[in-house]
């Protein structure tokens, strides 16, 4: 059972998120507990459609010079993460299973003369997810990907290239059971 103080903190956090979102949209958006919205100064565009539902523990980041567009009737299940340093667009009537991650960027790195991964330098490419899509639990969408309309992405898939419209994509895995 949650204490009075815990409920008060949740309410303050949720109100802060709603206040930040109200600057960018005039729609009906439902936000669960422990969600985080970080919109950095100098972003290009943030657009939210109507009837967006965001469950618990979701994270949204929009960096400087980035744009995020979420159309009407989009559902984010628990623990989703949208990380936008370039451009991410999500079409209407799209569903995200638990723990879906969207990244429109990768860290830059050098291999010679010495290997180094940059902490604050990125390569970017837009991500576009069509209308009427369903991304199952634990799907990861990487930079530069377009997912066509009316598409289902099976649980656990890592999407690193385009998926055509009217498709079902599954991660073919072989399960091997051995006797002990």
| Segment 135-140 mean pLDDT | 98
Of 65, 167, 173, which Cα lies nearest the Cα of 126?
65
Write out the catalytic residue numbers. Answer: 107
155 in any annotated domain = yes
Of 23, 129, 34, 125, which Cα lies nearest the Cα of 75?
129
Task: Name the band, by pLDDT with cuts 50, 70 and 90, for residue 177.
Answer: confident
Q: What is the pLDDT of residues 30-77, one digit of tens each?
A: 999 889 999 999 999 999 999 999 999 999 999 999 999 999 999 999
41 in any annotated domain = no
154 in any annotated domain = yes
Q: Which residues on neighbouring strands pair with residue 74, listed in sequence order?
A: none
Q: Which of 19-23, 26-30, 168-172 has the lowest mean pLDDT?
A: 19-23
Q: For the chain, what is the domain count? A: 1
146 in any annotated domain = yes
Q: Which residue, chain included where needed, has tokens 């598409």? A: 151
CATH number of residue 63's parent domain: 2.160.10.10
**Is the confidence at residue 8, as pLDDT, over 60?**
no
Q: What is the pLDDT of residues 69-127, one digit of tens each?
A: 999 999 999 999 999 999 999 999 999 999 999 999 999 888 888 898 989 889 999 99
Of 132, 34, 24, 21, which Cα lies nearest the Cα of 74?
132
Domain enclosing residue 111, as ranges:
51-169
Task: Name the band, by pLDDT with cuts 50, 70 and 90, for residue 17.
Answer: low
Q: Buried (b) or exposed (e) across 105-119, using 16+ Cβ within 10 A?
A: beeeeeeeeeeeeee
* pLDDT, position 180: 84
Of 92, 82, 80, which Cα lies nearest the Cα of 143?
82
25 in any annotated domain = no
Pairwise CA distance, residues 70 & 79, whole Å: 17
Q: Name the pTM for this structure.
A: 0.86
């Amino acid at each position: 059972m949650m204490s009075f103080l815990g409920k008060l903190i949740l309410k303050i956090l949720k109100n802060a998120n709603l206040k930040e979102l109200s600057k960018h949209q005039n729609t009906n958006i439902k936000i669960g507990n422990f969600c985080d919205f970080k919109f950095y100064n100098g972003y290009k565009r943030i657009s939210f459609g109507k009837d967006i539902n965001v469950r618990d523990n979701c994270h949204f980041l929009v960096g400087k010079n980035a744009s995020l567009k979420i159309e009407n009737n989009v559902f984010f299940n628990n623990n989703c993460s949208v990380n936008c340093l370039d451009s991410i667009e999500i079409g209407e009537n799209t569903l995200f299973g638990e723990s879906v991650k969207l990244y429109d960027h990768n860290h830059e790195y050098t291999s010679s003369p010495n290997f180094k991964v940059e902490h604050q330098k990125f390569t970017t490419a837009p991500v576009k997810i069509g209308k009427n899509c369903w991304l199952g639990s634990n799907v990861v969408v990487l930079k530069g990907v377009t997912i066509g309309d009316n598409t289902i992405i099976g649980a656990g898939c890592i999407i690193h290239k385009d998926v055509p419209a009217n498709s079902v994509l599954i991660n073919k895995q072989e399960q091997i059971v051995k006797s002990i």
